[in-house]
Amino acid sequence: MKNSAMFWVANTTIILVIVTIMAAMNFPFNWVFYVTVLGQSMVVYMVYKVLTDDYKTDKTFKDFYEDHPIGRTS
């Protein structure tokens, strides 16, 4: 299975939500600290993967949002 950029976005989000829950539930500091360091390193790697992902599209800024096109009447 190829790890796409969205895989890393989802996993990083889950880890950082877990850190928030752990901090709110007063988990021991060392657990929260190590998971935070893991989450921060995942953020750096996630940004790298998103920026270097081989993703092609034919959309341009003129397309704007697909659910609300600008300048076109439906």
The pLDDT assigned to 68 comes to 63
At 65, give phi and psi (nearest 5°): -90, 140
* Structure tokens given for 12: 């990083």
Divide the 74 residues of the chain into consecutive groups of 10 and give the mean pLDDT of each group: 80 96 96 96 93 80 66 56
The pLDDT assigned to 67 comes to 64
The pLDDT assigned to 71 comes to 62
Measured distance CA(50)–CA(52) in Å, rounded: 6
Question: How far apart are the two ends of the chain, measured CA to CA in Å?
Answer: 40
